[in-house]
Amino acid sequence: MSQRELLLLSPYRMPAQNSLALGDDDVASFLNGYTALWHPAARGGAAAPPRIASPYDFEQPGAGHIYALPESPPLILPDDWMERVKEVGAIAFHAGPDRETTFANLKAALREKNPDPRCLELLDLPRERVAPFLGLGFGYVILDTLFEAMEHENLIAHVELWNEVQAAATGDDAATHLQAAADLLTQARDVLYPVAIHLLDIALLDDKNLDRPFPATYEHKLGVNLIASVALLEKLSREQPERFVALKERVQADQVELCSGAYLERADALLPLESQLWNLLKGTRVFKELFGQDVRVHGRKRFAAHPQLPLLLNNVGINRTLLLAFDASVLPNWRSTVTNWPAPDGKQVEAFTRTPYEAHSPQTFFNLAHYLQRTIRQDQAATLALLHTDKPASPFYEDWLELSKFGPVLGQWVPFSRYFNEAMAGEYASAANADDFHSDYLEEGTDAGLTHPVSGFAHHLRTRRRFDTLHTLAAFYRGLAGANDTLGLDGRFPELEDRLEAGDDVTISLDEVQTQVGAALSQRLLSRATSDRPGFLVFNPCGFTRRLALEIDGMSGALAVEGPVKAYQLDGAQGKLVVEVPALGFAWFPRHGPAGSKGPPPGKIKLADGNAIRNEFFEADVDPLTGGLRGLRDHKTRINRIGQQLVWNPGSSMRASEVKVTSAGPALGEIVSTGTLVDEHRQVVATFRQRFRAWAGRPVLDLRVEIVPETMPTGYPWHSYFGARFAPRDERATLLRGVNGTGYVSNHTRPESPDYLELRIGRSNTTLLPGGLPFHQKHGSRFIDIILLPQGEQARAFDLAIGIDRDHPTQTALGLATPVPVIPTTNGPPHIGAAGWLFHLDATNLLLTSFRPAPDKADALLARMIETSTHGGAAEFRCVRNPTRGSFLDARGTLLQETGLSGDAVLFEASPCDLVQLRIDFS
């Protein structure tokens, strides 16, 4: 028995310098067979550690040897090989993909062939007594392979190590001998690679399985990293308070890193900038309330990355993030484990970018030596990460943790904060392009069975803009009233914002706030009005002048087209107007024309006739055969820019049943087309109604699409949907898509953007404005589809627009999504005139996304702007009263620096692509 060998028979070897792709069952059988040979009951009489051998070398079994035979793939051995084993007194057992079954086979074979009472006693050792031996066996085979992978002389003290293992199995002081054996492995590893190998254990917390145990590193008090939204952690604190208290203690002891930051896991990359900031601000605030410390590392389970994310993280006080995709999302391809990831404005975060290996897959542990040699040779700090999902971890993961109890033989498990402190950035990347990030939110939404996987984004955008508009009106009132502001809405706005962002229906609450704010603001502006004419006040919450298209019931007579009213027509009792409102200002116009007036004056241009509508900027032709847009031309070049039809993918044609003019001006030109979509078999798949509108003085063609499907799309949403297909005239046009206010050149087949798609040729541009609908798909070199109705979508009406030669398309997109607060008044105009501004931002490259009263009830206002032109420069923000102080803040309200003042203006500099947050104090 002194010559007994412990052998795993396999044609494969542990991967060294190259990875090896085998089936999961093959790999699990291989590793189970090898680790089983380290069982204390199997090592008796063996002179050396178990080894892996070719079955061809042991067609004649050796006397007394113990053979592990993987079940998958089947070994090629003589048909009578098992008989030969019995004849020579050897032992053989089958190793399968299930560890328990493999060990049961080993024990059965040993009981049959070895009646030694000591051996039988070792067979019945409890799991916790056997686990350290398996951990040492796992470490031994990985380190042994690592020496080969690194092309280094093998320096493991094999004989001494095996003697310690034998002594641990038979002696009384097992722990001492096991530790000695592990120390020998550590000494050998230190010669091969004497610095730390960082091991990162990452787990995704799941709302549906919140009771699932944390990774075993948590129980072993080794470094573990949990990724969870703050709302999920808040839920854990409510539903499992004892478990939460224990987690909090581990977090504060730096044994657990909670990678978090966002309050909700949602498709933030396609939501408005203010919604993204709300998610981060609420998340970081609630996190600190729960754990008594700030978020140190940002992490998300659901994809939400885009070029400006480092800018947003910096503004909420986070400078480290996990830039990882846990689905099929696309991220920039960076080589180092830690990268300095900059936003377009230059602000940076440290990003962990190394894709983790799956902890449940036996492939991870089979190829572990190869992964280690690769990171040792290529990375500034050797790093290997494991990911835990909803699947149980592999038993080899437990072996690794057992080995780690003895020391950092194969690395040390660390939380991310410690890792970032020890690992320097190995790459300083340039700012990423929008095409470097992509996630299939469309398929995700349809697979989840959402009722509004497309229109939900547009609804959220409009609701968010309405909320921001009311906040701006409250800021107008604070600016006028100062310390006499008695609205008392400081506490209601945060509650409303939380409900809105959580997806609640806040329409009634917003109506109530609008009534309250509108009444107070109009009363303030009209307190010294000299006329008692009833009318309407219209407010513009945007930082740029807008020409608003209004339809108001209860009007009569001919209004003079003067002052803010640029066009007017009366259809029955409904007035249709185009009103120009200054940036951050107001306009007033009367409800009724002068007594005895019969109607509005005729316009200079007939806005609709035949199949065409037009205004001062463009002319659009509607195809009488299809009901789609046949052409859109500007008056200067008369070159057709773009056409449009409705489509059903995978194939359809559009047939119009009627195309008629419904309004010919002088304020509105409108054509409505109705008809059907038929498939290739001439079967009707949907009926449609398209409304084309050209308002006087507005360089935007409004398009309302209504689709009633006869057959609902099913299956993969990118291949089966109803959509609006646009065909630019020139396929050489450069496509830009808006991302958080900034335009990025895009070559992506599916350029997601809820803001706009701009087609640019030379100095001219044509802008598709989807109104918050984010999913688009290119077909060939010319066609672009805006996806309207995929599987599950319940909306039937969609509002789109096409802009002509817009210098700042992001302003046009924001203006179309921003509601128009129209406040009825009993008198007017204001004593200062029919139109005026209350605040004024002189920089067109700064997009004002939020303007609100200071939350501390001070006589102060907060303005948030993002630079969209990539140029930056000086700017001034003028106020209705002279401010006493101006200051830059971050998104949390922390003071960064003071600004200059000049009379009623706050003077400041805006860097290219920066997020500017300004506080203006008046007293």
341 CB neighbour count, 10 Å cutoff: 28
Question: Which residue ranges of the chain lie beneath pLDDT 50?
Answer: 1-2
Long-range CB contacts (within 8 A, 24+) of 124-130: 125/40, 125/41, 129/40, 129/174, 130/39, 130/40
Residues 6+ apart with CB under 8 A from 748: 434, 435, 438, 778
Query: What value, to the nearest 5°, has the Cα angle with vertex 887 and ends 882 and 890?
Result: 140
Please give the structure tokens belonging to residue 407: 């020391």
Question: Of 318, 372, 377, whose CA–CA distance to 349 is shortest?
Answer: 318
Q: What is the pLDDT of residue 596?
A: 60
Integer Cα distance of 112 and 68 in angstroms: 15
CB 863 within 8 A of CB 877: yes
* CA of residue 287 relative to chain centroid, distance: 19
Cα dihedral 465, 470, 471, 476, rounded to 10, equals: 130
Which ranges constitute the DSSP H helices of 542-650? Answer: none
Q: How many angstroms separate the CA atoms of 461 and 769, rounded?
A: 13
β-pair partners for 787: 723
* pLDDT computed for residue 2 by the predictor: 45
- Per the listing, tokens 């009634």 go with 508
The predicted pLDDT at position 46 comes to: 86
Write down the pLDDT at residue 599: 55
Q: Provide the residue type at 775 as one letter.
A: F
**Owner of token pair 């009792």:** 573
Residue for token digits 């398929």? 443
Whether residue 798 contacts residue 834, with contact meaning beta carbons closer than 8 Å, is answered with: no
The DSSP output letter for 527 is: T
Nearest to 485 by CA among 861, 763, 220, 18: 861
At residue 247, the pLDDT reads 96
Burial class (CB in 10 A: 0-12, 13-18, 19+), 706: middle
Place of tokens 């402190």: 421
End-to-end CA distance of the chain: 94
SS3 87: helix
Give me the pLDDT at residue 797, please: 97
User: Which letter does DSSP use for residue 8 in this model?
Assistant: E
Determine what percent of the chain falls in helix, strand and coil, rounding each to the nearest 5: 30, 30, 40
CA–CA gap between residue 669 and residue 697 (Å, rounded) = 11
Question: Which pLDDT score, from 0 to 100, does residue 257 have?
Answer: 97
**What's the confidence (pLDDT) of residue 1?**
41
